[in-house]
Amino acid sequence: MPILAIDTSCDETAAAVTEGRRVLSNMIYSQVLLHKKWGGVVPSIAKRAHEERIDFVINEALRKLRLDNNSSFSNLDYIAVTIGPGLAIALEVGINKAKELARKYDKKIIPVNHMEGHIYSCFVQNKSGNPKREFDFPYLALLVSGGHTELVIFKNHVDYQMIGATIDDAAGEALDKAAKMLGLGYPGGAVIERLAAEAGNKDFYHFPRPMIKAPALNFSFSGLKTSFYYFVKKMSDKERATKVRELASSFQEAVFDSLLNKTEKAIRETGINRLVVGGGVIANQYLRKKLRQLTKRNRGEAIFPPFKYLTGDNAAMIGVVAYYKAKKGILAVDPSKLDRIPRLSLSEKEFKE
């Protein structure tokens, strides 16, 4: 039976209906245009936009299945909702809606971590059950989004061990900040990708790669950001405009070099060469190519989310996690006590540097 999944962790209002690994419907209402002029996500605007749109998004997800009247909820098994990590006041909108629906229709709620959603996005199938790939544990997971950069051992269903994370900015956040410094708008990852490709994806300026030589599997991008800031500040407006492709390309090289270096280190240390990759930054075709080369070099494979629209935030991936949680009996015992956890971690024990 199907699961209704909801995710309002950041700036997309998302609902989906899934059954097992298959997506029956997937609705995403992006707020990107609302936040664009502020150069980043404004929590209060995100909250209001989620509140205004959540009913519409859920109804559309259900309507696609012709499950739009009250009785349709009897066809649903569970309601899954993202409880963290994310923006507290944004998460609350989805959680409150899930509670309201659970009460009204007498459903159980399955709480989901947004980052486990990004891991499972690599295994989501379309309505016909494609791609057919079976699970073959363990995997190494690389998660690269606007808020997170993490290396995780995906040991088995709903069983993770975090082995590395950023100690400051996330990779997507660093790309967004560099784009802002170059006056390229928000979010910046995709623009940087295009400009870098136009410059031939070369490293013209060789910006620093903090912690790349450190033995730990952690990442750091804030030193790179600072170095880039001073470098760009010294340039005249004209110089900056003429060199924007070279700057974008060199910055992207530095960020990706760190990601690739630590991922290869993690493969060698763990002996796990099957890599699942999730998060918004993985929309980047150049990074995908580099990761494919890296895993091939290590006689493994890189697995990416199958559809373009599953790269960014969505609720389909949340529904798929919920299916495996339900199989293990992991449900919210008392939905009324369900609360958001903005800093929710994938590891049971809090990650320490």
**Least distance CB 118 / Zn ion (angstroms):** 6
The token pair that represents 72 in the structure block: 């349709």
Contact region for ligand KG4 (CB under 6 A) — 149-157, 197-205, 279-287, 338-346? 279-287
Residue 188 makes contact with ligand KG4 by CB under 6 A:
yes
Shorter beta-carbon distance to Zn ion: residue 9 or 249: 9
**Least distance CB 279 / Zn ion (angstroms):** 6
Asked if residue 280 lies in contact with residue 311, where contact means CB atoms within 8 angstroms, the answer is: yes
Shorter beta-carbon distance to ligand KG4: residue 102 or 287: 287
Measured distance CA(155)–CA(178) in Å, rounded: 35
Residue where the block lists tokens 């994370």:
165
Binding site for Zn ion (CB under 5 A): 145, 313
Residue 312 makes contact with ligand KG4 by CB under 6 A:
yes
Shorter beta-carbon distance to ligand KG4: residue 109 or 259: 259
- 3 state SS of 110: strand
Burial environment of residue 346 by CB neighbours within 10 A (0 to 12, 13 to 18, 19 or more): buried
The token pair that represents 47 in the structure block: 């909250």
Residue 281 makes contact with ligand KG4 by CB under 6 A:
yes
Residue 190 makes contact with ligand KG4 by CB under 6 A:
yes
Q: Per-residue x/- marks for ligand KG4, 151-180, CB under 6 A?
A: ---------------------xx-xx----
Going by C-alpha positions, the residue among 169, 171, 151 that lies closest to residue 265 is 151
Shorter beta-carbon distance to ligand KG4: residue 67 or 124: 124
Asked if residue 211 lies in contact with residue 258, where contact means CB atoms within 8 angstroms, the answer is: yes
DSSP per residue, 195-212 = HHHHTTS--SS----TTT
Tell me whether the omega of the peptide bond preceding residue 111 falls within 30 degrees of 0, making it cis: no
Contact region for ligand KG4 (CB under 6 A) — 13-21, 133-141, 183-191, 261-269? 183-191
Asked if residue 230 lies in contact with residue 217, where contact means CB atoms within 8 angstroms, the answer is: no
Shorter beta-carbon distance to ligand KG4: residue 111 or 278: 278
End-to-end CA distance of the chain: 42
Q: What is the dihedral sign for C-alpha 22, 26, 32, 34?
A: negative
Q: Which of residues 37-96 bind ligand KG4 (CB under 6 A)?
A: none
**Least distance CB 40 / Zn ion (angstroms):** 15
Residue 193 makes contact with ligand KG4 by CB under 6 A:
yes
Residue 116 makes contact with ligand KG4 by CB under 6 A:
no
Shorter beta-carbon distance to ligand KG4: residue 2 or 146: 146
Q: Residue 259's Cα: distance from chain center in Å?
A: 15
Where does this chain bind ligand KG4 (CB under 6 A)? 10, 145-147, 172-173, 175-176, 187-190, 193, 279-281, 283-284, 312-313
